[in-house]
Amino acid sequence: MLADVHMDWPIGQHEIGLFFAAQGTLVVAPMSRQRYRVVAQLADAPSTPTVADVQRVIDQRGPTSGARVNKVLWGSRFQVHHKLADRFHAGPFLLVGDAAHVHSPAGGQGMNLGLRDAEALATALAACLNGNKDALDAYAMERRAVAKQVLERTDRLTRIATLRSPALHWLRDTILSTVGHAPAVRKRIAMMLAGFS
Ligand SMILES: Cc1cc2nc3c(=O)[nH]c(=O)nc-3n(C[C@H](O)[C@H](O)[C@H](O)COP(=O)(O)OP(=O)(O)OC[C@H]3O[C@@H](n4cnc5c(N)ncnc54)[C@H](O)[C@@H]3O)c2cc1C
C-alpha cells in the first residue's frame, strides 16, 4: 500500500521511519511540511487507501502514540517484481531504466540506477559516434552487471525486512541497531543506495 498523507507524526520531518513489525514492514518518509509518504507491505492492499486504512496500519506497526492521519492526498498499491532483461543491447535497441531492470523499492534505488544507465549510455553513444564500435556492447555488459548486483541486494533487503521467525527478528534488529551507529557503515550504505559505489 502506498499513500501520501498529511499527518501529525511524532518522529518529525528529518528522518525516514522504517518499522519491522510482526505484521509486515512500514516505511514513513517525510516529503515536505506535514506531508509524508507511507508504504506498507499488505497481503490485500486497497487500490485507493483511505484515512482509516492508513491509520490502522500505522497504529498496528508504527509508534505507540502521536501519529494521526488527517488526509490522504494520493494513494495506490503496487506489487514487487524482480526482473532483469537478458540483454540491454540488441541491434538498434538499447535499454535503460525500468525497461532493463525492475526490483523491490527496498533502499529506493530504481530511479538512481536508471539515471546512471542514462549517463553511461550517453558516454557510450558519444564513443560510438567517434568510431568505437564496441562501446554499446560494453555499455550493455557493464550496466547489466551493475543491475544484477542491485537486484540481488534489493532481494536480500526485502527478505531481511520480511523475516518471519522471532529469533531472526531479534538477530536482525540487534545487528541493525549496532551497525547503524557506526558512521563509516552509514556512509557506505548511503553511497551504495545512491548508486555511487
Ligand atoms: C513504490 C515505489 C517507490 C519507489 N521509490 C524509489 C526511490 O525512493 N528512489 C528511487 O531511486 N527509485 C524509486 N522507485 C523506482 C523508480 O520509480 C523507477 O525506477 C523509475 O521511475 C523508473 O524510471 P524509468 O524512466 O526507467 O521508467 P518509468 O518511470 O516507468 O517511465 C517510463 C515512461 O514510459 C511511458 N511509456 C510506456 N510505454 C510507452 C509507449 N509505448 N510509448 C510512449 N511512452 C510509453 C510510461 O507511461 C512512462 O511515463 C520506486 C518505485 C516504486 C514502485
Whether residues 96 and 158 fall in one domain: yes
Whether residues 145 and 120 fall in one domain: yes
3-state secondary structure 54-114: HHHHHHHHCCCCCCEEEEEEEEECCCCCCEECCCCEECCEECCHHHCEECCCCCCCHHHHH
For range 88-111, the mean pLDDT: 91
Question: Whole domain around residue 92: which residue ranges?
Answer: 83-162
125 vs 172: which has the higher pLDDT: 125
Q: Calculate the CA dihedral of residues 9, 171, 185, 27 and round it to 10 degrees.
A: -30
Look at residue 27 and tell me if it is in a domain. Answer: yes
Measured from the CB, is residue 171 less than 6 Å from ligand 1? Answer: no
CATH number of the domain encompassing residue 156: 3.50.50.60
Look at residue 194 and tell me if it is in a domain. Answer: no
- Across the chain, mean pLDDT equals 91
- Candidates 92, 123, 98, 121; CA nearest to 111 is 98
Look at residue 196 and tell me if it is in a domain. Answer: no
Structural domains in the chain (count): 2
Banded pLDDT at 135 (limits 50, 70, 90): very high
How many angstroms is it from 114 CA to the middle of ligand 1? 9
Judged against a pLDDT cut of 90, whether residue 157 lies above it is answered with no
What is the predicted pLDDT for the residue at 52? 97
Measured from the CB, is residue 111 less than 6 Å from ligand 1? Answer: yes
Look at residue 10 and tell me if it is in a domain. Answer: yes
Q: Would you state the cell numbers that stand for residue 49, as one nine-digit string?
A: 487507501
Domain boundary among 18, 45, 76: 76
How many angstroms is it from 137 CA to the middle of ligand 1? 24
Look at residue 189 and tell me if it is in a domain. Answer: no
What is the predicted pLDDT for the residue at 16? 87
How many angstroms is it from 98 CA to the middle of ligand 1? 6
Whether residues 88 and 69 fall in one domain: no
106 vs 168: which has the higher pLDDT: 168
For the stretch 1-21, pLDDT in tens is 999 999 999 998 888 888 988
Look at residue 191 and tell me if it is in a domain. Answer: no
